[in-house]
Amino acid sequence: GGISDAHLAAALLIIQSGLTADQVATEEKTVTLSNSQSYPFNNSTQTIALNTVRNFTDYTVEAEITAHDGNVGDVRIFDRMLNGFKVAYDGSAKSATIKLRIKGGM
């Protein structure tokens, strides 16, 4: 009957929205960091604000270098807060464009 189908559809919607909560919590940001100092010094640190404030600071941040001018070295994510974090690279590059994927922390 029509009534049971409607109830089933509503129940499936509730289940589905529960499963996608973590996907909703995934943010992507692309930032360009720049460094004007000579190696081994580096002033590329930038603070990244999150669109969605987290409940916990255990979120993961994946960093993908999409462009660079020089040797980027390691990308570091640090000073995690509920509303943001800091990102830097430790190489001698003049600049690096980095795509960040933030997941979890909800």
> Three-state SS for 53?
coil
Asked if 23 and 76 count as a contact pair (C-beta separation under 8 A), the reply is no
**CB-based contact 21:99 (threshold 8 Å):** no
Tokens 């002033």, residue located: 43
Our count of domains for the chain comes to 1
pTM over 0.75: yes
Question: Is the residue at 92 inside a domain?
Answer: yes
Q: Where does residue 61 fall: left (phi above 0), alpha (psi -120 to 50 degrees), or beta otherwise?
A: beta
CATH of the domain at 60: 2.60.40.2080
- The answer to the question of residue 3 being in a domain is no
In a domain, 60, yes or no: yes
Domain that holds residue 37: 26-103
Does residue 77 form part of some domain?
yes
Q: What is the pLDDT along the chain (106 residues), one digit of tens a residue?
A: 555 566 666 555 555 555 555 555 689 999 999 999 999 999 999 999 999 899 999 999 999 999 999 999 999 999 999 999 999 999 999 999 999 999 999 8
The angle subtended at Cα 100 by Cα 98 and Cα 74, nearest 5°, is 55
9 domain-assigned = no
